[in-house]
Amino acid sequence: MMNLFMERALELATLGRGHVSPNPLVGCVIEHNGRIIGEGWHQRYGEAHAERNAIFSVRPDDAYLLPESTAYVTLEPCSHYGKQPPCANLLIEKQIKRVICCNDDPNPLVGGQGFAKLRAAGIAVETGVLVGKGRELNARFFTFMEQHRPYIVLKWAETADGFIAGPYGKPVTISGDLSHRLVHRWRSEEDAIMVGTHTASTDNPRLNVRLVPGRNPLRIVIDKQLKLSKDLHLFDNAQPTLVYNFLKTDLTGETTYCRLNADEPLLPQLLTDLYTRRIQSVLVEGGTTLLQSFIDAGLWDEMRVFRSRTMLQAGVKAPVVQGNLVRSELVGDDELITCKK
């Protein structure tokens, strides 16, 4: 039964995807004698956390049961004041009998202090329940906190014979409509989306969310010598855009220019800067050159590759899929291959 309630808490946590970053995804279930009397999740950054939403979802007629209830929480309850008061304090105030949790919070502002506060108040605490699923749920948060960089998702579409573009980089339609819609959902769930100079110039992408409801990500483009035309969609001021280059640091409308050191490796500098900007995840939709640079540097966490039935016979070769296969599934007529490092 313990795992069943935690599975429900994990399921609830996913409902916050695309809305809570840079906070983690968190779900909470309040259980009494095998019955769920309250549940909630962190719905939006800056708003109430999962524990608070769960406790205040309990019906007034059941409120007296809280001192004999167990809270199943996917991540250690916070113990500090931020945009919201500490959840540990609320659990203590409501005299929750027991707290069961997936993961310790790697944020140094919490880092075990939430559990310590609960135990000091006489609340029984158990941790490590479905710990692997908890880490998978918050892979972006854990990567950000532990490796001091964003979680990197490499995405591309390739033909059945392994090409990502036509001869001389000519754009071609490879994946189908369902795949395109799925990519827009992914964009809404990540903090940022990145392309290189060649993709920006030849494809003139908008890098926004149009095919599904959701927020637009931060747009990132690498333009070392600032050669890209200002007539491109990337510079339309429709959403914040970050341009990494070797020439200047400046702010023009919604476009931020960030100068990197040309004498040092580019990607480590870029990812360090994104970390300081609290960007937890990046969807890389560049061409082979940009994708391969992340692969060669070992700076990636996940690959999502659409493989179509189309044959080109010539063109730009796609990167080689690598890592541990997580799943292979059909999206319309395309095969979607997901691998993790």
Q: What is the pLDDT of residues 292-320, one digit of tens each?
A: 999 999 999 999 999 999 898 888 999 99
**Is 51 one of the catalytic residues?**
yes
Cis peptide before 22 (omega within 30 of 0): yes
* Largest separation between any pair of C-alpha atoms in the chain: 70
Of 146, 171, 161, 277, whose CA–CA distance to 217 is shortest? 277
Residues 87-98, mean pLDDT to the nearest whole number: 94
What was the pLDDT predicted at 82? 66
Q: Is the pLDDT of residue 198 over 80?
A: yes
Q: Which two tokens stand for residue 262?
A: 């040309």
DSSP H helices in 16-86: 50-55
Residues 7-32, mean pLDDT to the nearest whole number: 96
Sign of dihedral through CA atoms 222, 224, 226, 228?
Answer: negative
Q: Is the pLDDT of residue 80 over 80?
A: no
Sign of dihedral through CA atoms 303, 307, 313, 315?
Answer: negative
Of 31, 33, 43, whose CA–CA distance to 7 is shortest? 31
What are the pLDDT digits (tens) for 136-169?
A: 999 999 999 999 999 999 999 999 999 999 888 8
Q: Which residues pair with 241 in a beta bridge?
A: 219, 255
What was the pLDDT predicted at 171? 84
Q: Is the pLDDT of residue 81 over 90?
A: no
**Backbone phi, then psi, for 111, in 5-degree steps?**
40, 50
Burial of residue 329 (CB within 10 Å: 0-12, 13-18, 19+) is exposed
Sorting pLDDT into bands at 50, 70 and 90, what band is 2? confident
Give pTM, 2 decimals: 0.93
What are the pLDDT digits (tens) for 234-267?
A: 999 999 999 999 999 999 999 999 999 999 999 9
Distance CA 113, CA 316 (A): 52
Q: Is the pLDDT of residue 44 over 90?
A: yes
Of 81, 71, 77, whose CA–CA distance to 31 is shortest? 71
Of 20, 334, 13, whose CA–CA distance to 182 is shortest? 334
Of 185, 268, 176, 259, whose CA–CA distance to 223 is shortest? 259
> Among 39, 51, 189, 190, which one carries the catalytic annotation?
51
Distance CA 231, CA 227 (A): 12
What are the pLDDT digits (tens) for 115-127?
A: 999 999 999 999 9
Domains of the chain, CATH where assigned: 2-138 (3.40.140.10), 148-340 (3.40.430.10)
Instruction: State the average pLDDT for the chain.
Output: 94
What was the pLDDT predicted at 79? 81
